Amino acid sequence: MPTPPSSAVNETADAVRQALALAHPTVAADVVTAVVYQAAGELVGRSAVPADFGRLLRRRANARLAAMTGILTPIRTARP
């Protein structure tokens, strides 16, 4: 499938960044931004459906931010 338009990617990444900044108040805002956009760069072109992009981005970035605060959580895939 084609890569989502960059404006949609940016909007999704910004929404995820805002949500994760609230969820991880002990992590500096610039660190949250860097983590989200790094994860977004890794996922662009890999997610099968544009709707999957936001879900995958949030899950990946949230796991990284949690690890930064000492909480290690494995990322598991949904089972059908």
Tens digits of per-residue pLDDT, 27-38? 999 999 999 999
pLDDT of residue 73 exceeding 60, the answer is yes
Q: What is the pTM of this model?
A: 0.75
Residue with structure tokens 């494995």? 74
Q: Which two tokens stand for residue 51?
A: 């709707």
pLDDT tens digit string along 8-34?
888 889 999 999 999 999 999 999 999
Residue 53 has a pLDDT of 87
Contact between residue 43 and residue 53 where contact means Cβ atoms under 8 Å apart? yes
Q: Which two tokens stand for residue 22?
A: 């609230």
Rounded to whole angstroms, what are the CA distances from 18 to 7, 14, 25?
Answer: 16, 6, 11
